[in-house]
Amino acid sequence: MKKLMKLVVATMVAILFVQTTTGMAQAAKGDQGVDWAVYQGQFGKFGYGSDKFAIAQIGGHNANGLYEQWTYKTQVQSAVAQGKRAHSYFWWENIHNRATADQTLNYVLSKMQTPKGSILAIDLEQGASTYAVNTDLIMYAMQRIKNAGYTPMLYGGRDYLQNHLNVDQVIAKFGDKLWLAEYPNYAVTPKPNYNYFPSRTGIAIFQFTSTYIAGGLDGNIDLTGITDNGYTKHDNPVTETPATDAGQEADDTAKKEIKAGNTVKVNFSAQRWATGESIPTFIKGQSYKVLQVSGNRVLLNGVMSWANKKDVEIISTNTGNTTSGSTYTVQSGDSWWSIANRHGMSMYNLAALNGKTIYTMLYPGQTIKVSGAASTNRTYTVRYGDSFWLIANKLGVNMYTLAAKNGKSINSMIYPGQTLTY
C-alpha cells in the first residue's frame, strides 16, 4: 500500500510539470529571473543570487508617442557584468495601424542593445479597437522582429490577450512565444505557485509574481530554455553591442583594479561591512558608486559605508561624474529619485546638495549639482516614531554609520526634535 501511495504522489507531481493536452507547461528549464523598467534604477536589481536572466524595457510607444527608457542600456550592461542573460521588451500602446507599428519597430530595433537571437518581447498594454486588427498588427510586428534576427515574444495577462487577439493564431505561426503573467496574491513569492498557472499552450515564460521580494519586483521562470537564446552555454552574448561590451569589460575587470567612480553591486552573499557591522538585507543586490578605495576596502556612495572588495561585484568601470561640482541638466520626466539613482546618490543628499528638498519641483532645462554631497555633512531632525533604522532607510545610509557619526549606537535613545548629522 505504501509503495502504491508513493507511486500516486510521484505521478501527481509529474503531471504538474509535464505538458498535457490541458495546456500545463513543462518547467523543465526552471531558470528564474526578473524584468526591469525605470523603477529598478540605472543598473537594475535581481531578487536573488540564483537569478539567471533579466528582461529590460527599451522604451516603446505610449499615449504620448515614442519614448526611450534611459535605464535600458545600463541595465543590459549590468546584467551582462553579473554573468546573467539580458533580454529586451517594449511598450505597445495606442498602435492602431501598420504605419504606427512600423514607426515603433524602426525606433525600437535601432535601440537594441541585447545580442542577436535574444528576446524582444511586445508588452501589449492597449492595442487597436478590434480583435482582428490587433491580431494582424501583433503578428506583423513579431514577424518583423524575427526577420531582424531576434526572438519575438508576446507579454500580457492570459485573459487580456485572449480577449484582444487570436492568441492561438500567434502560437500556430511562431510557436511557444508567450510570456504570461498570473499572480495568486501580493505576498512575497520566491518560487512559482503552479496552482495559479495560466494554463494554456504556447507559454515559454511564466511571470508568477510582482512581489518576488519585499518591496516589489517581478519574478519570472523560463519554462522552455528560451532565455538561452542569443547566448553561449557560458552565458556570453553571441553578438556584441556597446552595452554588452561594457558589461563584459566590467565582468573581466579584477576586483583589485576597482577605482573611485566605478559602480559595484553588493553581493547577496555579503554578511558584514569592512568595519564589522552586519550588512542590512535591503543593501544586498543594490548598486553603488565607489567614492574611495583603501586597500581591500571600498567606500560606497549613498550608504557611506566601507565594503570589502570580496563582497562586491563590478557593474561599470565608467568613472565619469566623480569630480566636485559636476552638474546635470534636468530632462522631461525626471524626478529627484530618478536623477539620484542615475548618479548613485541618495535623493535626500541630492536635494540637500542643491539647497532643496525632495518635494521641490524640478523642470526640464534646470541645472543641478550631482556630486559633492558625499563629503558634506547634512542634518536630519528626528520625528515622532523615528528609529535609527527608519531614518537610515529614509536617507539611504547605513544605520550603524549614522549612529556612530552622532556618537551613538543603534540602541541609543533618540527623541523628536533632536538633530542628527549624516
Contact 86, 75 (CB under 8 A): yes
CATH 3.10.350.10 in the chain: give the residue spans.
Answer: 377-422
User: 253-316 — its CATH code?
Assistant: 2.30.30
> What does the pLDDT look like over 296-311, one tens digit per residue?
999 998 788 899 999 9
C-alpha 51/C-alpha 74 separation (Å) is 18
pLDDT of 243 > 70? The answer is yes
Query: Residue 371: which pLDDT band, with cuts at 50, 70 and 90?
Result: low
Query: Residue 55: which pLDDT band, with cuts at 50, 70 and 90?
Result: very high
> What does the pLDDT look like over 62-86, one tens digit per residue?
888 999 888 999 999 999 999 999 9
User: 23-242 — its CATH code?
Assistant: 3.20.20.80
pLDDT for res 10 = 41
pLDDT for res 397 = 67
> What does the pLDDT look like over 275-296, one tens digit per residue?
899 998 888 998 988 988 999 9
- In this structure, of 85-94, 253-262, 322-331, 338-347, the range with the lowest mean pLDDT score is 322-331
Distances (CA, A) of 161 to 133, 134, 156, 213: 13, 10, 6, 27
CATH 2.30.30 in the chain: give the residue spans.
Answer: 253-316
15 versus 37: the higher-pLDDT residue is 37
Query: Residue 345: which pLDDT band, with cuts at 50, 70 and 90?
Result: low
Fold of 377-422: Membrane-bound Lytic Murein Transglycosylase D; Chain A (3.10.350)
pLDDT for res 291 = 87
> What does the pLDDT look like over 113-123, one tens digit per residue?
999 999 999 99
Query: Residue 57: which pLDDT band, with cuts at 50, 70 and 90?
Result: very high
Kindly state the average pLDDT of the residues 20-44: 73
Contact 339, 380 (CB under 8 A): no
C-alpha 50/C-alpha 23 separation (Å) is 28
Distances (CA, A) of 77 to 72, 218, 262, 266, 268: 9, 19, 13, 16, 19
pTM value > 0.85: no
> What does the pLDDT look like over 168-226, one tens digit per residue?
999 999 999 999 999 999 999 999 999 889 888 999 999 999 999 988 999 999 999 99
pLDDT of 4 > 60? The answer is no
CATH 3.20.20.80 in the chain: give the residue spans.
Answer: 23-242
pLDDT of 228 > 90? The answer is yes
What's the mean per-residue pLDDT of the chain?
A: 84
151 versus 404: the higher-pLDDT residue is 151
Kindly state the average pLDDT of the residues 229-240: 92
